[in-house]
């Protein structure tokens, strides 16, 4: 294989990993960031200095762009972000490309709550009380059975925390792909496992801390905003073992992720991600491996991984606390996913990613916090009307 397509809302990390293997990368994503390198790159962002994720982006638009732009350029591609967890969109891509990862049938199986619950019960893993719904009216009914606070999520649905009637207004606009999940809200620390699998063998590469709704990254509640690898907790061994078992029972291949919450009364399963995860860069550094190489090897039946674990690595996604205009962030060490100089970033949309490394989880977390504070001096609040 000499070239590969990559499709996802922000796939710069996967593109870097593939390019380091000598592959020609053809990329379709949303953000028109300056540090993205590819043989050919197609961005959905219509104005270079004015990203508008909320208005311009949908996963369907991205898949349609991939079919239009990559047809004739590549025969195979990797999906990332929400695309790789949506069986309908994967099936759409399969009509035009070889999708290098779980096929639409495998993803559909992994996202079906009945199938997933069976695998969890067989592994002896607890999960929040969960109901399913196929319409917004049914969601409202099931919320009465779960009781608030509860979380509404599903394929193509960003997790929403519902505390009361005022939070239910936005549910009317939900597009339900197959079924929505209504789950009891479990408070605790968000964690994940990065798992590699072929048809015969499943290996957990790392157990990770997930950063969600962190105030000093200006992330909204429930918004994913980074990771620290490894986690280093009393649950690591159990998470590694059970995650491999879940992926094996679901028949998934390649790179997959399993998310959990560690609460006061123990470990709860949250969801399976059926594609390369955002932990990719930190796992690569921690294990001394190339994740795209290991993913492609696993698809060919080889999960022998020879990297050596060591160190601690973190990534934070910094969001705009207000409407901001950014300076040239390329001169700052440890910053990636960089918007063009003088870009105006809308409130609650991502500004850039920041990185840190160290010997311990706490050390890395503090370095990420310091970097977030440093970056605060490199953009200014934009006032007034308009964009």
Q: How confident is the model at residue 382 (pLDDT cuts 50, 70, 90)?
A: low
So what's the architecture of 130-184 in CATH?
A: 2-Layer Sandwich (3.30)
> Other C-beta atoms within 10 Å of 163: how many?
11
pLDDT tens digits, 118-177: 999 999 999 999 999 998 889 888 888 888 899 999 998 889 999 987 787 777 778 888
Q: Which residues pair with 166 in a beta bridge?
A: none
Instruction: Measure the CA angle with vertex 369, ends 366 and 370; round to 5°.
Output: 90
335: Cβ contacts below 8 Å, ≥ 6 apart: 329, 352, 353, 354, 355, 371, 375
Specify the domain boundaries for CATH 3.40.50.720 within the chain.
3-100
pLDDT tens digits, 34-74: 999 999 999 999 999 999 999 999 999 999 999 999 999 99
- Helix (H) / strand (E) element for 194: namely strand 189-197
Task: Give me the mean pLDDT over the 200-225 stretch.
Answer: 96
CATH class of the domain whose range is 3-100: alpha beta
pLDDT tens digits, 299-337: 999 989 988 889 999 999 999 999 999 999 998 999 999
**Rounded to whole angstroms, how far apart are CA atoms 217 and 316?**
7
The gap from C-alpha 318 to its chain's centroid, in whole angstroms, comes to: 15
C-alpha dist (Å) from residue 179 to 11, 111, 134, 169, 303: 27, 9, 5, 19, 33
Order the strands of the 180-184 sheet from edge to edge.
130-133, 180-184, 150-154, 157-162
Summary mean pLDDT of the chain: 94
For residue 281, what pLDDT is reported? 98
Specify the domain boundaries for CATH 3.30.1490 within the chain.
130-184
Half-sphere exposure of 141 (CA within 13 A, CB side): 7
Order the strands of the 312-319 sheet from edge to edge.
266-273, 254-263, 189-197, 202-212, 224-229, 312-319, 350-358, 335-336
Specify the domain boundaries for CATH 3.30.470.20 within the chain.
186-387
- β-strand pairing of 324-326 with 379-381: antiparallel
Q: What is the CATH number of domain 186-387?
A: 3.30.470.20
3-state secondary structure of 221: coil
8 Å CB contact between 127 and 109: no
Q: Which residues pair with 229 in a beta bridge?
A: 313
**Rounded to whole angstroms, how far apart are CA atoms 80 and 206?**
19
């Amino acid at each position: 294989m000499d070239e590969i397509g990559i499709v996802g809302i922000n796939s710069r990390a996967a593109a870097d990993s593939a390019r380091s293997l000598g592959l020609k990368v053809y990329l379709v994503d949303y953000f028109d960031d300056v540090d993205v390198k590819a043989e050919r790159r197609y961005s959905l962002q219509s104005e270079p200095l004015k990203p508008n994720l909320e208005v311009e982006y949908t996963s369907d638009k991205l898949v349609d762009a991939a079919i239009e732009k990559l047809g004739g350029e590549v025969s195979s591609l990797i999906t990332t972000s929400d695309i790789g967890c949506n069986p309908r969109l994967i099936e759409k891509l399969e009509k035009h490309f070889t999708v290098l990862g779980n096929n639409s049938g495998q993803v559909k199986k992994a996202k079906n709550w009945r199938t997933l619950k069976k695998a969890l019960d067989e592994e002896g893993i607890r999960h929040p009380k969960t109901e399913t719904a196929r319409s917004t009216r049914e969601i409202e009914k099931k919320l009465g059975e779960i009781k608030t606070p509860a979380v509404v999520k599903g394929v193509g649905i960003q997790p929403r925390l519902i505390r009361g009637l005022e939070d239910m207004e936005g549910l009317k606009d939900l597009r339900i792909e197959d079924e929505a999940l209504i789950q009891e809200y479990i408070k605790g620390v968000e964690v994940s496992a990065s798992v590699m699998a072929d048809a015969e063998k499943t290996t957990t590469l790392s157990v990770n801390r997930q950063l969600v709704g962190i105030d000093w990254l200006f992330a909204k509640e429930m918004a994913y905003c980074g990771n620290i690898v490894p986690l280093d907790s009393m649950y690591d061994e159990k998470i590694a073992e059970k995650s491999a078992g879940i992926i094996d029972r679901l028949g998934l291949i390649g790179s997959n992720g399993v998310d959990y919450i560690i609460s006061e009364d123990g470990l709860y399963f949250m969801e399976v991600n059926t594609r390369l995860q955002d932990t990719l860069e930190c796992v690569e550094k921690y294990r001394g491996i190339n994740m795209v190489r290991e993913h492609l090897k696993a698809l060919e039946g080889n999960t022998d991984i020879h990297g050596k674990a060591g160190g601690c690595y973190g990534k934070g996604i910094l969001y705009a606390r207000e409407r901001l205009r950014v300076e040239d962030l390329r001169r700052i060490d440890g910053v990636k996913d960089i918007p063009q100089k003088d870009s105006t970033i809308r409130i609650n949309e991502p500004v850039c990613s920041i990185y840190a490394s160290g010997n311990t989880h706490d050390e890395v977390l503090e370095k990420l916090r310091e970097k977030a504070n440093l970056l605060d001096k490199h953009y200014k609040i934009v006032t007034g009307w308009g964009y």
